[in-house]
Amino acid sequence: MSLFYFLTFVALLSALGVVFAKNPMHSVLFLVLTFFAISGHYLLLNAQFLAAVNIIVYAGAIMVLFLFVVMFLNLNADTEPNKSALAKVAGAIAGGLLLLVLIAALRNVNPTGADLNTFDSQIGMVNRLGLVLYQQYLLPFELASVLFLVAMVGSVMLGKREVGERHF
Partner 1 sequence: MDFSALTSFVISWQSLVILAVFGISLLIATYSTYAERVVAAFLQDRVGPDRAGPYGLLQPLADAVKLFTKEEFFPAGANRGLFVFGPCLAMTTALMASAVIPFGNTLLLGNGEVVRLQAIEVNIGMLYVFGVVSLGVYGLMIGGWASNNKFSLLGAIRAAAQAVSYELAMGMALIALLMVTGTLSLRQIALQQYDGLWNIVYQPLGFIIFCVCAFAETNRTPFDLPECETELVGGYHTEYSSMKMGLYLFAEYINVFVASAVMSTLYFGGFSFPGEHLLYNYLTASQSELFAHNVVTILGTVTLFAKIFFFIFFFMWVRWTLPRFRYDQLMRLGWTMLFPLAILNIILTGAFILFFGNKEAKLDVSKEAAPTEIRTVARR
CB of 52 to partner 1, least distance (A): 4
Q: Tell me whether residue 44 or residue 98 sits nearer to partner 1 (CB atom).
A: 44
Q: Tell me whether residue 8 or residue 48 sits nearer to partner 1 (CB atom).
A: 48
Cα–Cα distance for residue pair 138/131, rounded to 1 Å: 10
Cα–Cα distance for residue pair 168/163, rounded to 1 Å: 14
Cα–Cα distance for residue pair 31/20, rounded to 1 Å: 12
Closest CA to 63 of 31, 39, 40, 36: 31
Q: Tell me whether residue 10 or residue 52 sits nearer to partner 1 (CB atom).
A: 52
38 binds partner 1 (CB under 8 A): no
Binder among 21, 24, 49, 133 for partner 1 (CB under 8 A): 49
Phi-psi region of 149 (alpha: psi -120 to 50; beta: other; left: phi over 0): alpha
Interhelix angle 2-20/24-44, nearest 10 degrees: 160
114 binds partner 1 (CB under 8 A): no
Q: Tell me whether residue 49 or residue 141 sits nearer to partner 1 (CB atom).
A: 49
71 binds partner 1 (CB under 8 A): yes
Interface residues with partner 1 (CB under 8 A) are 25, 29, 32, 48-49, 52-53, 55-56, 59-61, 64-65, 67-68, 71-72, 125-126
